[in-house]
Structure 1
Amino acid sequence: MDETAHARAAFREGIGDIVPDPLRRRLEGVLESASMTPGALTVLAATTLDDAADLDIAARRGAGVQMSYEGLRLSRDLIHTDPWANGDRTEGDLNAIAAEVLVARGFEYLAHTGVAMDVVEAVRQFGRDQTHRENATQAERTSLDRQLEAAFVRIAVRAGADVALGSIPDQIDGVADELAAELSTDPLPRSETALVGVPERLSTAIASPDTTTPGEFSQSSGT
């Protein structure tokens, strides 16, 4: 199964109704250039933890994670480059709107799921980090920026577990934290690299006798 293709298709479907056309084309450009690691990791986690997981739901969740991340990443680029100060106001305005649309659509896809508040906290943390970054050293700035990638790698694993198990066991959180530390680079590694070995790590974690079985303690909707 190609987790990346499924996440990409759900992302493309999610922006298909966006108008006007220039904005939709800008969003399509974001998709084409993106590392699909957050979306693909969501799908992989779901199908690894429950091989009967609904693939459409997993892909939609993956698209929601990917959209939220891409929107904040685009916002970060705007903060750092300030295209308005460089005279490229039209491009800056279009990218600012694109970032807002992506975050909003990502929220829509992840509402009423087990990671909805994770994304809210990621947005809040992003704002705090970018504020602190203004007076930070270069090393501190790099560390602050990497927290965005770390947050969404972690959210991706948790979103997949939520689809498969209806909850997010501590063992899976442990794997999520490990992957967040390993993969939080800017840009994110491509999904074909990032996903190597992940199924085995998730399967080992889920083999613990304390881990929730699929379907138990479900707290999220089926969308």
Structure 2
Amino acid sequence: MEAAVRARKAGRQAVRDVSPDPLRERIYGLLDESAMVPGVLALTSARAVEGATATKPPETAGGSGTVGVEDRAAGVQLIYEGLRLTRALADEPPWERDSPHTDSNIDILAADVMVARGFSLLARTEAADKAVETVQSFGRNETDDQQGRPTAPHALETDVFELAVLAGSTAFGASPTDSLLAYAADLAESLDGDHPEPPEPVAEEVEQAVSDAPNPRQFAPSDDPRPSATDP
């Protein structure tokens, strides 16, 4: 799938300066193994909105302006990979094993780096607040799970997929339609396992969800860059 290839390339580009080499290679490996569902959702949402609204390209569109579609897709994907890896480490704590934990230590660092880099890519976009909410929600759900309280089985995927369509849609100055958000939630519910494979018609389904609202809500052009969600 072309969108998956583009998202993976953007993700690798975003962490190309990470060191030491074994840490960077571990992140590359995680991206290579992934089906890139969040990245695909971000890219296809952007493409569908671009076609529906005929706005200017993301480099000059309203909103955050300078953050391109591939960077947004990479940001969402890196946040997801980092949180997914954190979830896996929490489910099977490596520190309870008898063998050395070298690989696990790298995984812990990789998870932190991916989430941090994902935040950096989305910090000055309209998806910044949602990215913060996604990580906060993940923390609450993991705490509840560790303490035996019931949690939604696909909470992380639901939050990340909604983040993906928000990041993609707003690249062209439009907020995601209700039908697009509903599709993202349904897609999250339909996927199983820690390495979900997207169904074939993702792009077509996204385009249909956008076309259900022929005049998506538009953001007014902004001359000033959006402040980061982490700015004081």
- Asked if Structure 1 and Structure 2 have the same fold, meaning a TM-score greater than 0.5 normalized by the shorter chain, the answer is yes
Deviations 1:95-142 (A, max 9, x none): 1100000000000000111110101111111111011112337xx35x
CA distance in 2 between partners of 1:99 and 1:134 (Å): 19
Amino acid at match of 1:19: S
Q: Which residue in 2 is equivalent to 1:148?
A: 156
TM-score (norm 1): 0.85
Relative to 1, partners in 2 of residues 1:53 and 1:44: Cα closer, same or farther, differing over 3 Å?
farther
Opposite residue 39 of structure 2, the aligned amino acid is G
CA distance in 2, matches of 1:164, 1:40: 16
For residue 211 of structure 2, what is the aligned residue in structure 1?
A: 204
Aligned residue among 119, 124, 127 for 1:112 = 124
Residue equivalent to 2:41: 41
| 2:220 aligned residue | 217
Residue number in structure 1 paired with 2:30? 30
Cα pair distance change 1:54/1:217, threshold 3 Å: closer
> Given the alignment, which residue of 142, 156, 167 partners 1:130?
142
Contact 1:149 1:188 in 2 (8 A): no
Match for residue 15 of structure 1?
15
Q: Distance in 2 between matches of 1:76 and 1:135?
A: 14
Is 1:37–1:194's contact at 8 Å kept on the other side of the alignment?
Answer: no
**Scaled by the length of structure 2, what TM-score is found?**
0.81
By how many angstroms is 1:168 displaced? 1.2
Letter in 1 for 2:168: G
Which residue of structure 1 lines up, in the alignment, with residue 72 of structure 2? Answer: 61
- Decide whether the 8 Å contact of 2:85 with 2:111 is kept in 1: yes
How far off is 1:19 after superposition? 0.7
**Using the alignment, how far apart are the partners of 2:76 and 2:225 within structure 1?**
16
1-side partners of 2:183 and 2:206: how far apart? 14
Aligned counterpart in structure 1 of residue 91 of structure 2, from 68, 72, 80: 80
**5+ residue gaps in structure 2?**
60-66, 227-232
- Residues 53 and 191 from structure 1, CA distance in 2 versus in 1: closer, same or farther, beyond 3 angstroms? farther
8 Å CA contact 1:45, 1:202 repeated in 2: no
Q: Which stretch of structure 1 is more off in the superposition, 45-54 or 3-12? A: 45-54
| Identical-residue share of aligned pairs (%) | 31
| Pair 218,42 (structure 1): closer, same or farther in 2 beyond 3 Å | farther
Task: After TM superposition, give the deviation of residue 174 of structure 1 in Å.
Answer: 3.6
Conserved in 1, the CA contact under 8 Å of 2:4 and 2:35?
Answer: no
C-alpha RMSD of matched pairs (Å):
2.4
Task: Work out the number of aligned pairs and report it.
Answer: 211
Query: Whose helix proportion is higher, 1 or 2?
Result: 1
Could you tell me which of 182, 188, 205 is aligned with 1:183? 188
